[in-house]
Structure 1
Amino acid sequence: MEFQYYLPVNLVFGRGTADLIGEKAARLGKRALIVTGGRSTRESGLLARTEELLKRQGVSSVLFDKVEPNPMTTTVCEGAGIAVEEACDLVVALGGGSSLDAAKGIAFQAVNGGDINEYIFGKKVSDKALPVLAVPTTCGTGSEGNGFAVMTNPDTLDKKSLRCSAIVPKCSIIDPLLMTTMPQRVLASVGFDALCHNIDGYLSSIAQPLTDMMALEGIRLAADSLKKVYHNREDLDSWEKLCLASTLGGMVINTAGVTALHGLEHPVSGLKNAVHGRGLAALAPYVYEASIKGSPDKFAAMSKLLGGKDESDFVSQIRELIAELHLTETLGEMGISKADVPWLTENCMKISAASIASHPVILNPEEISRIYTKSI
């Protein structure tokens, strides 16, 4: 047995830990760029609360609230420009995965400059970024637990992640109480994403013992909690389990990467700005049907955690979960047509080559096209 594992993340987990935002930020810098979306953190009161907590600890702040779902590279560059102009030495990320990913991209771009797409595609590398304090308000992407920042280039519609250890948050505050304001529709999609991160990482050919342990626990926690929280928003114990499943999933994919499911979905949300978790749900049954033969033992283990008996009923367990969470929207209902399949397939092979290569069954372009077509 031989493997390497490195993930320098500082997690502060538990109900009420958002009260520590100011204290933790003050250890990282004196002037913060707060990165968030335009609405939810303001309406929930978290933005005002964060500004006050920072102020009490002597940390001044500047607000950048232009992050959109599926954040753009141009948005990241705009935010980085403000961070430089305002002499910020810290980035505080508030919100869902889009806000966290944008914040990490901003922290990187503010220090490195140039064309961020060259770093995303590995043409340039850097190990420098501003420190990031991450405060997630959705339990899905696990961005608080890894060095990935997914963004879309509006010129090419390439949706791909910047990967760099320097953008692993210096501190992530995971407070389950911040999640409870999510609309049920959002909860369903982000919770399914959390489950799929753990599944993707567990199936990966570059998985290793530590990621397998975390992924199986993440799948177990998500399977136990997601439906409970979906039907009972007052179940705080289940909120905690789902939040931990999400963070574990983010940590897993930092090392094991994602596989074909995420590899096929990213072109969909890059092209049509689809909700990521719903794109995953539309593709998942067809991706997994084509994959079980490559790793039957792992599919059997996951099926049992989802309530099944072995690899033969894994897909039916996934379909039942998708139906219960009302995630049955097809790619066609997201705006994808058969005419888009050639572009999706070509883009998948371009931006997701590593994910396809790590999948237990190496899907060729024809097989990928068939999966897209079935999902429409």
Structure 2
Amino acid sequence: MEFQYYLPVNLVFGRGKSDIIGEKAKELGKKALIVTGGKSTKSSGLLAKAEEQLKSNGVTSTVFDRVTPNPLTTTVYEGAQLALEEGCDLIVALGGGSSIDTAKGIAFQAMNGGDINDYIYGRKISNKALPILAVPTTCGTGSEGNGFAVMTNPETLDKKSLRCSAIVPACSIIDPLLMKTMPRETLACVGFDALCHNMDAYISSIAQPLTDIMALEGARLAIESLPKLYADAEELPGWDSLCLASTLGGMVINTAGVTALHGMEHPVSGLKDVVHGKGLAALAPHVYGASIEGARSKFATLSRYLGGRDENDFTDKIQELLEGINLRVTLGEMGVEEKDVDWLADNCLKVSAPSIANHPVVFSMDEMKEIYKKAL
């Protein structure tokens, strides 16, 4: 048995831990760029709370609130320019995965400059970035626990991740109480994303013992907590569990990677700007259904977690889970048409080749096209 595991992140987990944002920020810098979206952290009061905490701990701050779902490389450039103009030496991310990924991109771009796509595609390499303090308000992407930052190039519609250890957050504060303001539809989407991260990493051909242990626990926690929270958002132990599932999912994909499900979804949300969790839900039964032969024992284990008997009813159990959280959707309902299938398959191999290669069944171009068509 041989493997290597490296993930330098300081996780501060627990209800109410958002009360120490200022304390942790003070350890990392003196002037912060707060990266967030335009609405949720303002309406919840988290942005004002963070600003006050930073001030009381001697950290000045500037707000960049231009983050949108499926963040753009152009937004990263705007934020990095503001960070440089303001002399920021710390990036504070408040919000969901889009805010954290944008913050990571800004932290990287502010230190490196140039065309960030060169680094995304590996034409250039750097391990420099401003320190990042991440405070997630959704429990899905797990971005607080890895060195990935997914962004879309608006010129090419390529949705691909910047990956390097420098953008692993220096500190991530995971406060389950911050999640309670999510609408139920958002909860369903992000919770399913958290589950899929863990399942993808578990079945990955580059999985290893530590990622298997964490991914299975993350999957178990997500499966048990998501339906309960969808039915009753006041179920506090469920928030603890789903938040941990999300963070574990982010951690395991840092090492084991995602597989074909995420690889095939990214072109969908890059092209149509759809909610990532919905794209996963539309594709999951079809991608996983075509994959059982490649990892029968692992799919059997996951099926039993879902309440099934073995690998043969895994996809049925996924469908039941999606039905229970009102997430049975199709790509067609998201605006994808049959004429888009060729572009999606081509783009998938352009932006997600490693994810396709890591899958237990390596799909051909024609097989991917057939899966997209079934999901319409």
Query: Could you say what secondary structure the match of 2:4 adopts?
Result: coil
Task: Name 2:268's counterpart in structure 1.
Answer: 268
The one-letter code of the counterpart of 2:54 is: L
Equivalent residues in 2 for 1:16-27 (5 A)?
Answer: 16-27=16-27
C-alpha displacement of 1:328: 1.6
Task: Name 2:165's counterpart in structure 1.
Answer: 165
C-alpha displacement of 1:106: 0.3
The one-letter code of the counterpart of 1:30 is: K
**Distance between the aligned counterparts of 1:306 and 1:324, measured in 2?**
12
Query: Could you say what secondary structure the match of 2:93 adopts?
Result: strand
Task: Name 1:104's counterpart in structure 2.
Answer: 104
**Distance between the aligned counterparts of 1:89 and 1:202, measured in 2?**
37
Task: Name 1:334's counterpart in structure 2.
Answer: 334
**Distance between the aligned counterparts of 1:125 and 1:229, measured in 2?**
42
Detail structure 1 runs of 4+ shifted over 3 Å in the superposition: none
CA offsets 1:252-299 (integer angstroms, 9 cap, x no match): 000000000000000000000000000000000000110000000000
Task: Name 2:128's counterpart in structure 1.
Answer: 128
C-alpha displacement of 1:329: 1.9
**Distance between the aligned counterparts of 1:88 and 1:39, measured in 2?**
23
Task: Name 2:86's counterpart in structure 1.
Answer: 86
Task: Name 1:240's counterpart in structure 2.
Answer: 240
Task: Name 1:372's counterpart in structure 2.
Answer: 372
CA offsets 1:193-218 (integer angstroms, 9 cap, x no match): 00000000001111100000000000
Equivalent residues in 2 for 1:6-85 (5 A)?
Answer: 6-85=6-85
CA offsets 1:33-71 (integer angstroms, 9 cap, x no match): 000000000000000000000000000000000000000
**Distance between the aligned counterparts of 2:55 and 2:312, measured in 1?**
56
**Distance between the aligned counterparts of 1:350 and 1:336, measured in 2?**
19
**Distance between the aligned counterparts of 1:239 and 1:68, measured in 2?**
24
**Distance between the aligned counterparts of 1:305 and 1:14, measured in 2?**
25
**Distance between the aligned counterparts of 1:16 and 1:3, measured in 2?**
36
Query: For the aligned residues, what is the CA RMSD?
Result: 0.4
TM-score by length of 1: 1.00
Task: Name 1:308's counterpart in structure 2.
Answer: 308
- Count, aligned residues: 376
Task: Name 1:212's counterpart in structure 2.
Answer: 212
Query: Could you say what secondary structure the match of 2:180 adopts?
Result: coil
C-alpha displacement of 1:222: 0.4
CA offsets 1:305-335 (integer angstroms, 9 cap, x no match): 1111110111011000111111122101101
Query: Could you say what secondary structure the match of 1:267 adopts?
Result: helix
C-alpha displacement of 1:303: 0.6
**Distance between the aligned counterparts of 1:195 and 1:144, measured in 2?**
16
Instruction: Pick which of 24-33 and 324-333 moved more.
Output: 324-333
**Distance between the aligned counterparts of 2:365 and 2:325, measured in 1?**
31
The one-letter code of the counterpart of 2:159 is: K
**Distance between the aligned counterparts of 1:52 and 1:173, measured in 2?**
17
**Distance between the aligned counterparts of 1:233 and 1:327, measured in 2?**
17
Instruction: Pick which of 322-331 and 43-52 moved more.
Output: 322-331
C-alpha displacement of 1:11: 0.2
CA offsets 1:99-122 (integer angstroms, 9 cap, x no match): 000000000000000000000000
Query: Could you say what secondary structure the match of 1:36 adopts?
Result: strand
**Distance between the aligned counterparts of 2:101 and 2:138, measured in 1?**
13
**Distance between the aligned counterparts of 2:330 and 2:186, measured in 1?**
17
CA offsets 1:318-369 (integer angstroms, 9 cap, x no match): 0001111111221011010000000000000111000000000000000000
**Distance between the aligned counterparts of 1:39 and 1:371, measured in 2?**
36
Query: Could you say what secondary structure the match of 2:181 adopts?
Result: coil
The one-letter code of the counterpart of 2:145 is: G
**Distance between the aligned counterparts of 1:10 and 1:302, measured in 2?**
29
C-alpha displacement of 1:135: 0.1
Structure 1: unaligned runs, 5 residues or longer: none
Query: Could you say what secondary structure the match of 1:179 adopts?
Result: helix
**Distance between the aligned counterparts of 2:312 and 2:128, measured in 1?**
46
Task: Name 2:249's counterpart in structure 1.
Answer: 249
Task: Name 1:146's counterpart in structure 2.
Answer: 146
Query: Could you say what secondary structure the match of 1:180 adopts?
Result: helix
The one-letter code of the counterpart of 2:187 is: L
The one-letter code of the counterpart of 2:179 is: M
Give the share of equivalent positions with the same residue, in percent. 71
